[in-house]
């Protein structure tokens, strides 16, 4: 059940490691709806974190949730019910009203499809687009010229790769990935930084080139938690600089929920 569309909206994108919340209140006057505020919290979040983020009590909002993590989604929905929320919508892929030209559309991560909804608002008409989502997983997806999800690729994200190097070896430390000063590492940490950072850049370039339809020059949309780390490097090696949209998934969910009409 959903509330009237005039009610303020809280969009929740539940990923594999974190929850991202965005509050949407009325038209933004831009092609994509813009959240009035956002919050990113771990799966073991505390109620006080959400309460401190929201300007009004939980029941004041209609809640729209897209999730790729069932236990985390169940915990949030149970909490919302206990706090008196009456309008909670757990979206399924069909609610996004986007076509998916793949074997099992219902198996596609709903966050990937929400990204397509948003990109269809901003890509040039009748042109394909590439979505590079740099979150827990590194995803490079193709939106067709007609606006369908045409498929894509999934690889380990930066944090996952860094953790794997640490946990599957005896001596490599756990590091936070930043842009390395040089590609040639002169220490273990420098070598790890270079391999992780430039390896991800190389993967994005190669994958994007291989999935692009012949003869097309698609818009490249970059999003995800570590997207800002790569925007400059990708821009300097691209004939068509990528557009960084930090809240792409939240915007796509909001559009599907009926929010985000331009003023």
Domain CATH for 167: 3.30.420.40
Total residue count of the chain as it appears in this document: 263
Q: How many domains does the chain have?
A: 1
Q: Cα dihedral angle (68, 72, 75, 76), rounded to 10 degrees?
A: -70
Q: What is the pLDDT of residue 26?
A: 74
Is residue 200 domain-resident?
yes
* pLDDT greater than 70 at residue 1: no
Is residue 27 domain-resident?
no
Is residue 30 domain-resident?
no
Q: What percent of the chain has pLDDT over 90?
A: 76
For residues 68-75, average pLDDT: 96
Could you list the residue range(s) of the whole structural domain that residue 214 is in?
126-246
Active site residues: 111
Q: What is the pLDDT of residue 191?
A: 97
What's the whole-number average pLDDT of the chain?
90
Is residue 107 domain-resident?
no
Is residue 183 domain-resident?
yes
Is residue 147 domain-resident?
yes
Is residue 195 domain-resident?
yes
Is residue 75 domain-resident?
no
Q: How far apart are CA 67 and CA 191, in angstroms?
A: 35
């Amino acid at each position: 059940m959903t509330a009237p569309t005039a009610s303020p909206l809280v969009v929740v994108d539940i990923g594999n490691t974190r929850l991202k919340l965005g509050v949407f209140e009325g038209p933004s006057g831009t092609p994509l709806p813009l959240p009035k505020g956002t919050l990113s919290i771990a799966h073991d979040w505390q109620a006080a974190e959400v309460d401190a983020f929201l300007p009004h009590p939980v029941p004041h909002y209609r809640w729209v949730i897209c999730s790729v993590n069932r236990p985390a989604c169940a915990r949030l929905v149970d909490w919302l019910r206990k706090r008196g929320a009456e309008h909670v919508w757990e979206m399924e892929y069909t609610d996004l009203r986007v076509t998916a030209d793949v074997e099992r559309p219902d198996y596609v991560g709903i966050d990937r499809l929400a990204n397509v909804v948003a990109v269809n608002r901003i890509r040039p008409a009748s042109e394909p687009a590439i979505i590079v989502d740099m979150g827990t997983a590194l995803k490079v997806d193709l939106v067709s010229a007609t606006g369908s999800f045409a498929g894509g690729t999934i690889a380990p994200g930066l944090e996952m790769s860094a953790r794997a190097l640490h946990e599957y070896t005896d001596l490599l430390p756990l590091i936070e990935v930043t842009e390395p000063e040089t590609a040639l590492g002169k220490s273990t940490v420098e070598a790890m930084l270079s391999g992780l950072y430039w390896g991800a850049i190389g993967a994005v370039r190669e994958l994007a080139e291989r999935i692009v339809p012949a003869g097309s020059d698609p818009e490249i949309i970059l999003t995800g938690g570590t997207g800002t780390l790569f925007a400059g490097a990708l821009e300097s090696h691209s004939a068509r600089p990528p557009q960084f949209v930090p809240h792409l998934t939240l915007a796509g969910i909001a559009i599907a929920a009926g929010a985000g009409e331009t003023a």
